[in-house]
Structure 1
């Protein structure tokens, strides 16, 4: 009943705006970007201050707070708990009352990860970190190949027609480079960056991070998350993220919500920048760009290239034909499972007759189960060896 009432209120507001447009003769509507208020380590006022600062600069988008009533001129969708806040945020996006949202501590499904945006201290150049939260794949190398695509999508939505792509020099970087070059040969054109170091190449060194040699810097998500924290708080001691545009939009095949992440440690300047980032992505048609790029890369045998990276290392349990039990409300979260075991954990619970969903929280992989079956689920996972007691 409450959700139905919320939706009706949103629809009512939309019709009021249409009526105003008819009366004034102006049908140009501003973009609306939501921002959730609860959860910041720096308090509600920190988020509100960032939103109000962004609103003062904004010329073609409005900001909607989602959270408890506060003293502000900004519009508020009232919510008094984090659970209610996230639900109303998702409803507002799905009903198209807002076109995007900025939030923190949000769980994306497996296959979706976020592309952060920083301005590097070396020469003050913008760079996209692909990716910074979430998990694109259970397999690290496969994930980094997907991350490259997610970074390209984001950069193109931001108006960079042919972004340069560099691969951070991490374990698996050469495999990622080989896979991306295969896609390039198959017809999905990738503009590889060239390292500033004497030996060049598309595999980037630490120096390239500081100078933003590439528009898109590809890394595994945990490394990207660490880099984002370093870039955003290197002058503050780490407790307050004061620079950059946040951890960015969640990108994934078939994922249609434009939800951008900031950290619980993000300060008002980052929140303001994240709202601007969200508006730019909406203007740039992020969802349309994503659909186009996924279509192009699949024509270049994307899935076959990914399969070649994972066919020898997939978990044995992934080959078992285990069907999920009937769906239940799954709100209880189990953490502490290694990313390589998350699929096995999900299927282990299914095999025991417990409905479970895998996902990725801000601190790592998670399994969601029905609250009444939480203890039983833990026992099953501990017994199977995928979770330590």
Structure 2
């Protein structure tokens, strides 16, 4: 069985590499035609895809998946419509491939510049969220990359149904059907092969739980674009407009729980804690959010707040639990974020522009916000059409990764007979 999986993965890798060479020179029109054909196929398959998702949801409940995973797994008609909207957005984006920048003449007479090119073959490993299948495929195709997709077993039926529509669109457009390949086995050995096939795969993007991403990061022999977790913060500074702070702090935590850009720790300046905490705690109580606070938070809010442990400051809850800490000012807030945070997304609520600029400069995260909910840290909200993932690395991409994050640049030289002296 091990030999057969290895042989299967080698075949998948070879096909992806061959397809990537076709995609690298495909015109924008050809790629958009493929995305349009996929859009039509998805529309025609909506009922079948939602039915397949219900099978996955039933299996997930029977297998006792936690509420956060079930939330990520579910495809509602509204979320399906959002998937299609994201696909249309990708179609409308400017194609980065072939863009030439920084052209300049050198003293030798040659003209030097940079041209944007695809990475080649992307390997994507993800859990739960079947919409990722479409997001990743559409971004890879638009940026001229082939992609190998390995979804989680909990979303197997959903992914198969979405993949079938994608394959139909590729076939109709004349691009290689192997431009997008979905691994058809749940055997974990397939992942081991995918993340070590450096002759066929150029970059790995893991998207899922911390355990998955840690495994990929430790075992991959290929560059990885990743974030381990999303321990996001909102800091309500002393000069905050509380009429802004209340809805932001509520939205950042309760808009959706099982997502990486949800707030997990609320920091409040001690100068306004007595005014702000009772008001926000009342709103959280309506949403049945459990609060775990520092001693000062407990003093202000009373016995309804559980004591926060050291571990709580590090935790990504992905559920209706929130850590709350009263801090002495911006310096303590920033120190707390840089120590306990995951470098994903952090926000400050303040009307003091100077302090806001300090926060932007000193918080070491991939997205840093002023007077806005952390829930905006998303490829769709950033105008990327969709995202293949969020990176907290500093090389090669950071933050939501869209089309440009799936490209590189190569030097190009225009000459007219010059030789080096």
Determine if the TM-score, normalized by the shorter chain, exceeds 0.5.
no
Name the TM-score, length of structure 2 as normaliser.
0.29
Name the TM-score, length of structure 1 as normaliser.
0.30
Q: Whose Rg is larger?
A: 2
More helix, by proportion: 2
